[in-house]
Amino acid sequence: MKKISILLLMTMVVFFNACKNEKSSKDGEIADDAVKATMEGTKFQLDSTTSTIAWHATKVGGEHRGTVQLKEGIIYVKEGQVTGGTFVIDLNTIDCIDLEGEWKDKLERHLKGLEEENADDFFNVRKYPTASFTIEKISPNTGDPEANSIVYGDLTIKGVTKSASFKGMVQVEEDNLLLQATDIVIDRTEFGVNYNSKKIFPNVVDNIIDDNFTIAAGFVGKKI
C-alpha cells in the first residue's frame, strides 16, 4: 500500500503543477478497439477517505484550486484493465484551498449554491447533492507510460447526463487498486453551470469565468 500512496501523491503533484490538457471531455472520438463495460473481473470498493479529487478553474485575471470528496464507488478490473465501474461525488464537500477566512467561505457557499438568490449559479447542492460517472466503454491505451486505459462513460451533473472520457492509469498491487486520472477537462455549460460564461452571456465584460474546468483524481480501492 506504501507504493500506492506514493503514486497517489505523485498524481496530485502533477495536477497542481500542470493542468495542461486543453481538450474538452467530449472532444475525443471513441477508439475503434473500445469494448463495452462488462463489470467482470475483480471488484474493488473505492475508499472515500483516501481517494482524492482535485479541481482547477480559471477566470479573467485569476484562478482557483480546490478539492471535492468521493462519496462512493466501485471499479472492476480484469487482466490489468478496467472493465466497468461507477463513481459518486459528494458536491457538499467542495473546498477551495487557495483562499482563507471570509473569502473562502463566500466562494464555497456560492459554488454550492447555498443562498437562495444564487442557488443555480453553479452546482445547487441542495437540489443536486452528488455528481456521478458510470463507465460504459473501455479501450486499452498502449504505449503511454502515464495511462494504460481510456475510459468512456456518462457524466451526470445537476441532473444532466453527457458523454465524457478520460485517460487513466490502473495499478493493482495484491488486494489494492489505484486508478489515476489527470487533466480531465469538463465544459461546465453542458451541465447548466452557466454563471459568467462568455459563451452563454456574450455581453458579460467583467468577471468572465472559463467554461472549462479541470479535474485530477486518484481513486484508491480495496478488493471485496
Picking from 46, 43, 28, 67, the residue whose alpha carbon sits closest to that of residue 147 is 28
pLDDT per residue over 13-54, tens digit each?
444 444 444 444 444 589 988 999 999 999 999 999 999 999
Q: Quick one: pLDDT at residue 35?
A: 93
Question: Which domains does the chain carry?
Answer: 2-223 (2.40.128.110)
- The answer to whether residues 152 and 136 touch, using CB atoms and an 8 Å cutoff, is yes
- The answer to whether residues 85 and 75 touch, using CB atoms and an 8 Å cutoff, is yes
* pLDDT band (50, 70, 90) for residue 115: very high
Provide mean pLDDT across the span 153-163.
Answer: 97
Residue 209 C-alpha cell reads as: 469565468
Give the bridge partners for 214, in sequence order.
Answer: 56, 185
Provide mean pLDDT across the span 154-163.
Answer: 98
pLDDT per residue over 191-223, tens digit each?
999 999 999 999 887 889 999 999 999 999 999
Q: Quick one: pLDDT at residue 206?
A: 80
pLDDT of 10 strictly over 50? no
* pLDDT band (50, 70, 90) for residue 67: very high
Q: Quick one: pLDDT at residue 131?
A: 98
Picking from 56, 121, 52, 120, the residue whose alpha carbon sits closest to that of residue 89 is 52
User: Torsions phi, psi of 116, nearest 5?
Assistant: -55, -40
pLDDT of 128 strictly over 90? yes
Q: Quick one: pLDDT at residue 28?
A: 57
Q: Which residues contact 114 (CB under 8 A, 6 or more apart)?
A: 125, 126
